[in-house]
Amino acid sequence: MIRAALDAVGQLPDNEIALADTALLLARLDAPGADWRRAQKHLTLLAREAAELQLWAGSSAQDQAEALSGMLGCRHDYSGDYETYDDLQNLNLIAVTERRRGMPIGLGIIWLHCAEVAGWDCYGINFPSHFVLGLDGDDGQALLDIFAGGRILEPEDLEGMLARIGDGRRRAKAAPVLTVRMTKREVLIRLQQNISYRREQSGDLAGALRVVEDMLRFAPGDINLWQQAAGINQQMGQIAAAVRCMGRVVDLIPPGADSDRARAVMRRLRSSLN
């Protein structure tokens, strides 16, 4: 039933996706014994409060950021989990609502949910290693560090974040990301990729593959996810499944050099079946 609901999300235009509801479906798959109804009730409460914010908050990005911070950080005690950052609970929306703690992307789902209800122009920024939010108001764009309670990032903060990325090539690649809006699917994929990565790093390839397969339900046209599924299946010795995944890559990828490489990979996989 839950996976059928994710399949339905996969057929929706991006702007019609209910971000928090979809993240809640994913959380239920990850923690089937958790009290998802309590989390759903809390999200409904947050939505009611967020709807009231627009009645009194100003139209500048700073005013809106302060309103969201006051509601989520002060009233409901949401904050980044500095003590147990890599705990997978920080990526499960049910656990995040229970603990009021999370990674940036886990908290970001809640912030985006509330901002959308308030009618504000808020979106994810796919910054490497640290998910941030963009918020556009009458005074222009503000970038928010939701892990730090929604603090508005100043130019020197961004310079410091870029400096921590690594070599100059990676920094140059990351800088333009600060102006690019993420789609809702991309936000959900970033959430789940954090889980998949940690499971794969711990040796739980089957668990990592399940996460990728569930992402493909709500993002069936994502070529990178099909390639990822093929790679994990290959690591697990499930070559026939890897071939099927690469077949989807070949179907989806535009003609060109990348398509030729995908076909070559699929041929090599097929040859290993014989």
Tell me: do 170 and 190 sit in the same domain: no
Neighbours of 44 (CB within 10 A): 11
Tell me: do 124 and 224 sit in the same domain: no
The enclosing domain of 265 has a CATH number of 1.25.40.10
Tell me: do 210 and 192 sit in the same domain: yes
Q: Which residues contact 6 (CB under 8 A, 6 or more apart)?
A: 22, 25, 26, 214, 217, 218
Domain boundary among 139, 154, 179: 179
DSSP 3-state helix, strand, coil percentages of the chain (rounded to 5)?
70, 10, 25
How many domains does one find in the chain? 2
Tell me: do 175 and 214 sit in the same domain: no
Question: How far apart are alpha carbons 263 and 261 in whole angstroms?
Answer: 5
Tell me: do 265 and 129 sit in the same domain: no
Q: Which percentage of the chain shows pLDDT scores above 90?
A: 81
Mean pLDDT score of the chain = 93
Tell me: do 218 and 98 sit in the same domain: no
Q: 64 near 139, Cβ under 8 Å? A: no
Tell me: do 202 and 257 sit in the same domain: yes
Q: Quick one: pLDDT at residue 158? A: 78
Domain boundary among 156, 179, 202: 179
Tell me: do 82 and 26 sit in the same domain: yes
Query: Considering only CA atoms, which of 203, 207, 223, 225 is closest in space to residue 215?
Result: 225
Q: What is the pLDDT of residues 152-201, one digit of tens each?
A: 998 888 778 777 766 656 555 556 666 689 999 999 999 999 999 999 99
Angle, helix 104-118 to helix 19-30, in steps of 10 degrees: 150
Choose from 7-11, 56-60, 136-140, 180-184 the range with maximum mean pLDDT.
Answer: 7-11
User: Whats the size of the chain, residue-wise?
Assistant: 274
Domain boundary among 154, 179, 204: 179
Tell me: do 80 and 157 sit in the same domain: yes
Question: How far apart are alpha carbons 148 and 95 in whole angstroms?
Answer: 19
Q: Quick one: pLDDT at residue 172? A: 57
Q: Quick one: pLDDT at residue 162? A: 76
Tell me: do 142 and 205 sit in the same domain: no
Tell me: do 173 and 254 sit in the same domain: no
Tell me: do 164 and 221 sit in the same domain: no
132 is in which domain, residue-wise? 2-179
Q: What is the pTM of this model?
A: 0.93
Q: Quick one: pLDDT at residue 176? A: 64
Q: What is the pLDDT of residues 221-244, one digit of tens each?
A: 999 999 999 999 999 999 999 999
Q: Quick one: pLDDT at residue 11? A: 98
Query: Considering only CA atoms, which of 43, 14, 13 is closest in space to residue 184?
Result: 14
Instruction: State which H helix or E strand residue 132 sits in.
Output: strand 132-137
